[in-house]
Amino acid sequence: MRASDLEQDFDRVLFTQEQVEARVAEVAAQIDADYEGRDILMVGVLNGAVMTLADLCRSMRSHMTMDWMAVSSYGAGTKSSGVVRILKDLSGDIEGKDVLIVEDIIDTGLTLSYLVQNLRSRGPKSLEIMAMFRKPEALTSPVDVRYVGFDIPNEFVVGYGLDYAGRYRNLTDVATLAPHVYA
């Protein structure tokens, strides 16, 4: 779905599908260069990182494997609950592996701080983070992010995997919602 398919639901398009694709290719090239000759275990955070991980790994030339985790975050609203819970753990072991966490967006940083702490305790060889979007103003739990797609203003956005009440993940552009959607 493009923003133009459902124009009345969106206030402003922040990034078009083409801009997102171009940026993903740039980050993929950066990852390839940094991990040259190494196998990367990419850990996607469900559900939001599905699009980012799928596109990122297909743009990469490095060998990679993937695994997924699901953690609780916002429920159906737009505010962080402040509580992080593992809903689905990794299927495999990460000990001694080069792990790259792939996250959709960093808002407060709470989810990633928790994930990093949790995964680090499992003894990976290295642990880095790629986040497609980051809201610098909202970052209350600082995390060391190696790769960022875009820094964005402190607004609630949807598209490219990001949802509001489960919807809009299939929007290929990234946009803010029109006020009537929240009403």
Instruction: Print the SS3 string covering 25-48.
Output: HHHHHHHHHHCCCCCEEEEEEECC
Helices within 60-170 (DSSP H only): 110-120
∠ CA 52-41-44, nearest 5°, is 35
Nearer to ligand IMP, 62 or 73 (CB): 73
Nearer to ligand IMP, 44 or 124 (CB): 44
Min dist. Cβ of residue 26 to ligand IMP (A): 22
Q: Residues interacting with ligand IMP, by CB under 6 A?
A: 48, 73-74, 80, 103-111, 156-158, 162
Nearer to ligand IMP, 32 or 47 (CB): 47
- List all residues 6 or more positions away from 132 whose beta carbon is below 8 Å from its beta carbon: 24, 49, 52, 103, 104, 105, 148, 149, 150, 160, 161
Which positions are catalytic?
A: 107
CB 106 within 8 A of CB 145: yes
Min dist. Cβ of residue 96 to ligand IMP (A): 27
CB 57 within 8 A of CB 116: no
Min dist. Cβ of residue 103 to ligand IMP (A): 6
Dihedral sign for Cα atoms in the order 21, 169, 84, 178: positive
Min dist. Cβ of residue 107 to ligand IMP (A): 3
Three-state DSSP class for residue 61: coil
Nearer to ligand IMP, 35 or 127 (CB): 127
CB 51 within 8 A of CB 169: yes
